Structure 1
Amino acid sequence: MFVFSLFIPYNAWGDWLAGLFHLQEGTVPFKLVQGIIPSVVLNSANTFICTAASIFYNEANPKAARMGAYLDGCKKAWIPCFVVSYIASFAAVWLGSKVAEKYAK
């Protein structure tokens, strides 16, 4: 996922989305809207990859039932995982900012 995130400009997409609503940069509403796009992109990729790994590489699942189980698993896991990743993204940005401030001096 790290390599994937290096090449996808999802932060720029988040800035663009917040700009559509004419939100002032640096405000809480701007940050809330800005964080949606990165969370959707990364959460979708994580959900699809992790669900696929747990379904398709599990010998206990019959081969004929794997695709249905995969689609059902993605559908059930996406929203809870999105909420967690959306909240975690704010914690990561806050912590990353603190570390960067400490070592950039």
Structure 2
Amino acid sequence: MRSLHTLFRQQGETVAASIRGRRLERRRADLTDPRMRQRPISAIAARWGFLRPADFSRAFRAAYGVTPRELRQTALRGLPMRDGPRCATNNTARIANSCSAPRAML
């Protein structure tokens, strides 16, 4: 276990931060997936380990600069139900940045 932590430390990241980042990426993917558009944001958050919606919203906004709702609305605007996941396309930089990795991972 010690060697795992050492490897991550050499990359400038902790094991816990890496796991958190991966989980946030999966939540972002679910939020932008048209097949998941009917699933409540709180259910998506709970699926990936956030049982309190307010905690999830704060962590998501800290990582991506937008709320889960803003990302979902922008990403799914005008998409037919059969399309696969894709990033938001919007002229504002903060929404465009939400398609990339969480800030903590950059």
TM-score by length of 1: 0.33
- Whose helix fraction is larger, Structure 1's or Structure 2's? 1
TM-score by length of 2: 0.33
Q: Mark the structure with the bigger radius of gyration.
A: 1
